[in-house]
Structure 1
Amino acid sequence: MNLISLQIETSNDFEKNLENLKNLIISCKDNSIILAPELAIVGFAYYKMDEAAAFSEKIIEELKKLSENKAIALTTIIKENNKFYNRLFIFYKNKILHTQDKIKLFPLGEEDKYFTVSKENSIKIIDINGLKIATLICFELRFPTLWEQIKGADVILNPAMWGIKRKDHYETISKSLALINQAFVIASNSANSNMGKGSAIISPFGELLRDDSKTILEAKFSREEIEKVRRYINIGLS
């Protein structure tokens, strides 16, 4: 499959953001795994959480339609029982294949004041066309205990809204995750002016495809590369 990271800006206009994302997805090849930045359509809409959650219903239906021959992953704001969650959706074959709530909220961004942490640890490895896929959402990248939970994944997704002041942290940690877990990492960070960009597709050997000037980053998944690194540097992931 093709591995695709989208590096896009998020405005205050939900409709505009959705149309932009849809057009980018349509432009991508079939048989791709496409990752958008964290909350790419609604952003951290603390001043209109109910509106963002209501709009998420439209997001879900629109992206289902585009997922017939493409796997699409993004997070959005969901409201349940008067609580808000930053929830990952993975769409494939016109269905919701997987959902996962963010469990590590970033205190400096006041996420813990607006979002609820899921009571269930929903981080797990799922299967898409024989590929083992796992996701860590933005700040969760900083927790090695979570890396342990996704050992054996072929591809690790990281949708992010990572600030520009810690850009080096994002780039360093995402590369380290690929090396330690011997997996491909798709890192998709926001391109807003206060965000760090640094989106990348990183191989199990740490080879980087990264370009802050691009909106779409694309690379081919290689089973052989994973098998080679796990055979020569055997740390028990396969």
Structure 2
Amino acid sequence: MTSKKRLYALQMKIRFNFEDNLKNIEFLSASCGEGAIILTPEVALSGFCYQRMNDASEFSKLATERLIKASEDKTIITTMIENYNGKYFNNLKVFSYGVMIHKQSKTKLFPLGGEHNHFTNGDESEFCMFSVDNIKCAAINCFELRFPKIWDIVRGADIIFVPAQWGKERKEHWETLNRALAIVNQAFVVCADCANDTMAKGSAIISPFGVVIKNDNREVISAEVDLSEISKTRKYIDVGLS
């Protein structure tokens, strides 16, 4: 496992035009450089466009092909709306070096946002580690961050990615939970929230010791991290993860 890694959280606004959103992801990802690992907000291609779910699902087919190409020399993690057998899912996908290496459907749908009226829950069996540059990674999709059971599932990952559409009324919850996730799991956490007016922002890169790098005024949050911090933290603050 390489010692240094450049991590990015895209704190982008999500617009009504799907093509504009995809072009923005492509543009920002291209500027991140070779070997980068990039996280977008949840449903960054479309937002929760409940009146256009079928359009979003069709666009996701095109977006998948273009993100495979955009990831030829890097890794891009995002979520998108997809229809399988007449049911809509919020699917997290990992595109790495020109291949889609992982997919998981959102298992916990946010009732206050009415997600359960439009999406089908994914199966927890889809939660599993995935490897990027020999780094053990895992992902939690937005509302899933509130469930301790899911924290147990990702226990042992070296980097945990959390895409979200998290409302600004619960900004303190968002920031506190992500920092706690990093400290409890002694892992790096990359969290990306949307920058629309109703959203919390608070996108960040957080170290295993709980050091937070964030800036609510930036579209791209980035940090070159030293992955040896993981083993050092787990060795000297031993909670059984070393």
Scaled by the length of structure 2, the TM-score of the pair is 0.97
Structure 1 equivalent of residue 177 of structure 2: 173
What's the secondary structure of 2:150's corresponding residue? helix
- Contact kept, 8 Å, 1:230 with 1:237, in 2: the verdict is yes
Structure 2 equivalent of residue 233 of structure 1: 237
- CA–CA distance in 2 between the matches of 1:163 and 1:142? 14
- Contact kept, 8 Å, 1:8 with 1:191, in 2: the verdict is yes
1:16-57 CA-partner distances (Å, limit 9, x unpaired): 111111110111111111000000111101001000000001
- CA–CA distance in 2 between the matches of 1:175 and 1:120? 23
CA 1:26 to 1:36, structure 2 compared with 1: closer, same or farther past 3 Å?
A: same
1:134 to 118, 138, 141: 138
Structure 2 equivalent of residue 6 of structure 1: 10
Which residues of structure 2 form unaligned runs of 5+?
Answer: none
What's the secondary structure of 1:167's corresponding residue? helix
Q: Does 1:106 align with 2:101?
A: no
Moved over 2 A (4+): none
1:117-145 CA-partner distances (Å, limit 9, x unpaired): 12352111111111001000000000111
Q: Does 1:23 align with 2:27?
A: yes
Q: What RMSD in Å do the two structures reach over aligned CA positions?
A: 0.8
Equivalent position amino acid for 1:201 in 2: I
Equivalent position amino acid for 1:230 in 2: R
- Contact kept, 8 Å, 2:94 with 2:103, in 1: the verdict is yes
Paired residue total: 238
Q: Does 1:86 align with 2:90?
A: yes
1:178-203 CA-partner distances (Å, limit 9, x unpaired): 00000000000000000000000000
Scaled by the length of structure 1, the TM-score of the pair is 0.98
Structure 2 equivalent of residue 209 of structure 1: 213
Structure 2 equivalent of residue 39 of structure 1: 43
- Contact kept, 8 Å, 1:75 with 1:89, in 2: the verdict is yes
